[in-house]
Structure 1
Amino acid sequence: MVTPPHVGLIYDVFSDYQWADNDPPDADAEFEPPETVDVLAEALRRCGTEPVRIGPARTLHEQLCAGRSLDAALTIAEGQGSRNREAHAPILLELAGIPQWGSDALTLSLTLDKATTKDLVVRAGLETPAWTVFSGAASISEDALPAPFPLFVKPRYEGTSKGIIPASKVDTLDALRDEVDRQTTLYQQDVIVEAFIEGGGEFTVAVVGNDPPRALPVLQRAVEPATGIGVHALERRGAPNREWDYTIPGTLSESLETRLCRDALRIYQKMECRDVARLDFRVDADGTPYFLEINPLPTFAPDGTFAIIAELMNRAYPDLLAEVLAIGLSRLGIHPLSDVVPCTDGVSLAEL
């Protein structure tokens, strides 16, 4: 009997977060519910592997030191404590010589830094809202602003919309100083202040695969009508629990979807992502897409982006997820069972 490959599953669930007294209320928002780990484990089994649930990076370190052996590993661990936190598990795996599904430590650290990512996107010839970085409110003046109001403020090294509240969209210099002060004090890091793009809606593009990567169907996101901020950002874990009104501005035309997919694929390749990522865009009133962020550690929660895409494609989520995981497993030399093939849905750059 052939022993299935053992694939370590590295993850943070909400109960793994180690709270400090001065942490913001959404400090654990990037962590996952147990259901995400369950669906990933099931997808790995469908691929013919044996999932080994490890837990967070610190547990991985302990088990590796104790002699834990793995054929490969898949990490969705966000970590905590530094701008390199998403790289903690990948670095441990690299040191141990364990092949890793997904992007490597360098890509994960680069993409968590919104300012560095925007620099690289501009060098690739793509649009992103004009921005600047502030380390505190004292340095803010009219001359230092990246664009006319309205502007948008967000932490430089956070994901899952951490720090964003309705007041993060600002229309005056005083409001900007207040919001920069709030975020830098609460999150103890620089903030990005960027032009707020309005008029054409907000969209998300999931990209999977390598050689070539492929963009899956584009999702259009609801926004809160009073501020224009994406509802998903206001509804994150740790945010005030309320029902938000929403609207869905703009139209996802065939030409816009083509442009969004093309830009997403070019950014995915520029950042040297592997296997999967999710990219967010805003579109202005003239129909021009502006890149916001890329996340090579997207959620695989049963109610997240990939589950919604599976529903749009009339696919069972566990089936699509197994095919997405099969992409990286094949790259690592772990070939899935014959009834699970690497995902070939979506479009490549050559097809656009």
Structure 2
Amino acid sequence: MRIGLIYDVFEDYPWRDGEPSDADAEYEPVDTVDALAGAVEALGHRPVRVGTAFDLHARLQEGLDIDAAINISEGARSRNREAYAPILLEMADIPCLGSDALTLSVTLDKAWTKDIVRAAGVPAPVHRVYGGVPDIDPDDVPPFPLFVKPRYEGSSKGIQPSSRVDTLQELRAEVGRQTGTYGQDVIVESFVRGGGEYTVGVIGHDPPEALPVLQRAVETTTGIGLHALEHRGAVEPTEEWQYELAGDLTPELESSLQNLTLRTFDALDCLDFARADVRVDTAGQPWFLEINPLPTFAPDGTFAIAAELMNTPYDDFLADVFDRALRRLQIG
């Protein structure tokens, strides 16, 4: 089969004057596209490198001939941006691996995602949504410390040490910074402390399978995940970050984190692959933070690390992920 690859690499970002330095943080290195192509070839199929959702739109008009597609395209600026490629593929009657447009749009919205998973019984921190500083009601602010991040972004965009706030004055300053810089609402949620930060990958469907849990380092002063402070385009520290591995990843905790992630995956109708971030408090209670059904497949990313822990070559791992998805679509 001819399997189309829909993606945004760093050089594809359509920069505009005045955009933040991390605007392209969700895009991918070419190595990621090479990994996707290698996995498709390992399955005996032919990868067709289409490019961005806008490239897909143009090539469909020209009669693009593909049997299915793997989409990791993020788009830009719109809260519907992750739905561009899946909608075009759906309209063209081309099967697409991974979650559909509705799930991608909902999960990009951090506030709606929290509402849905809480309704499904998944523990998630209390949150508020602010469109600007005037929206902050001092009598309706969750207990400090709090964490502030853009509502419709991923890959830690917008996060820096000031994102964790301990006072009303700091909250106002951070809400003003982020809404002014990113031109969108922010979500403000209780900051979970004490038991560490973890990420959990999921692959497959009916039933989905949770991968080995990965523990993340946290910066010692703020308690923010180190990966969130070191993302592409982040503010450079004046000196090297100090960090620690807070908490203890026991077999019991790993099982609990995996179960929580699978419940979240199901509640949001995710398909084929996703990655969730979870924090644990001082009492050992896990709290869902967010889920990404368009996770990076970079050769040094979460899924590659999980494959290494499973003693599986990365090409073979990705081939298995995509083969399961093709069989779900009944075209494998």
Aligned to 1:114: 110
Aligned to 1:290: 287
Aligned to 1:10: 6
Aligned to 1:36: 32
RMSD in angstroms over aligned alpha carbons? 0.9
1:186 paired with 2:181, answer yes
1:115 is paired with a residue whose SS is helix
1:73 paired with 2:69, answer yes
Aligned to 2:261: 264
Q: Which one-letter code corresponds to 2:314 in the other structure?
A: Y
Aligned to 2:147: 152
Aligned to 1:60: 56
1:117 is paired with a residue whose SS is helix
Correspondence for 1:306 among 303, 306, 330: 303
CA deviation after TM superposition for structure 1 residue 255, in Å: 1.4
CA deviation after TM superposition for structure 1 residue 209, in Å: 0.7
Aligned to 2:133: 137
Aligned to 1:198: 193
Q: Which one-letter code corresponds to 1:150 in the other structure?
A: P
Aligned to 2:168: 173
CA contact (8 A) 2:150 2:184 kept: yes
Q: Which one-letter code corresponds to 1:274 in the other structure?
A: L
Aligned equivalents of 1:186 and 1:38: distance in 2? 33
- Measured against aligned partners, the alpha-carbon deviations of 1:244-290 in whole angstroms (never above 9, x if no partner) come to 22100000111111111111101101100110000000000000000
Aligned equivalents of 2:99 and 2:243: distance in 1? 34
1:323 paired with 2:327, answer no
Aligned equivalents of 1:174 and 1:111: distance in 2? 30
Aligned to 1:226: 221
Q: Which one-letter code corresponds to 2:197 in the other structure?
A: E
Aligned to 1:51: 47
Identity, % of aligned positions: 61
- Measured against aligned partners, the alpha-carbon deviations of 1:172-212 in whole angstroms (never above 9, x if no partner) come to 11111010000001111000000000000001110111110
- Measured against aligned partners, the alpha-carbon deviations of 1:78-99 in whole angstroms (never above 9, x if no partner) come to 0012000000000000000000
Aligned equivalents of 2:77 and 2:110: distance in 1? 17
Q: TM-score w.r.t. structure 1 length?
A: 0.92
Aligned to 2:99: 103
Aligned to 2:249: 252
CA deviation after TM superposition for structure 1 residue 138, in Å: 1.5
Aligned equivalents of 1:325 and 1:139: distance in 2? 44
Aligned equivalents of 1:303 and 1:122: distance in 2? 32
- Measured against aligned partners, the alpha-carbon deviations of 1:126-145 in whole angstroms (never above 9, x if no partner) come to 11011010000122132121
CA contact (8 A) 2:160 2:235 kept: no
Aligned equivalents of 1:112 and 1:189: distance in 2? 13
Q: Which one-letter code corresponds to 1:326 in the other structure?
A: D
Aligned equivalents of 2:236 and 2:45: distance in 1? 39
2:243 is paired with a residue whose SS is coil
CA deviation after TM superposition for structure 1 residue 322, in Å: 1.1
Q: Which one-letter code corresponds to 2:313 in the other structure?
A: A
1:152 is paired with a residue whose SS is strand
Q: Which one-letter code corresponds to 2:329 in the other structure?
A: L
Unaligned runs of 5+ in 1: 336-352
Q: Which one-letter code corresponds to 1:161 in the other structure?
A: S
- Measured against aligned partners, the alpha-carbon deviations of 1:14-41 in whole angstroms (never above 9, x if no partner) come to 0000101121110000000000000110
CA deviation after TM superposition for structure 1 residue 334, in Å: 3.1
Aligned equivalents of 1:159 and 1:294: distance in 2? 10
CA deviation after TM superposition for structure 1 residue 332, in Å: 2.2
Aligned to 2:331: 334
CA deviation after TM superposition for structure 1 residue 123, in Å: 0.5
CA deviation after TM superposition for structure 1 residue 321, in Å: 1.3
- Measured against aligned partners, the alpha-carbon deviations of 1:60-112 in whole angstroms (never above 9, x if no partner) come to 00000111111000100000120000000000000000000100000000000
1:203 is paired with a residue whose SS is strand
2:49 is paired with a residue whose SS is strand
Aligned to 1:207: 202
Q: TM-score w.r.t. structure 2 length?
A: 0.98
1:290 is paired with a residue whose SS is strand
Aligned equivalents of 1:283 and 1:40: distance in 2? 33
Correspondence for 1:25 among 15, 21, 24: 21
CA deviation after TM superposition for structure 1 residue 154, in Å: 0.3
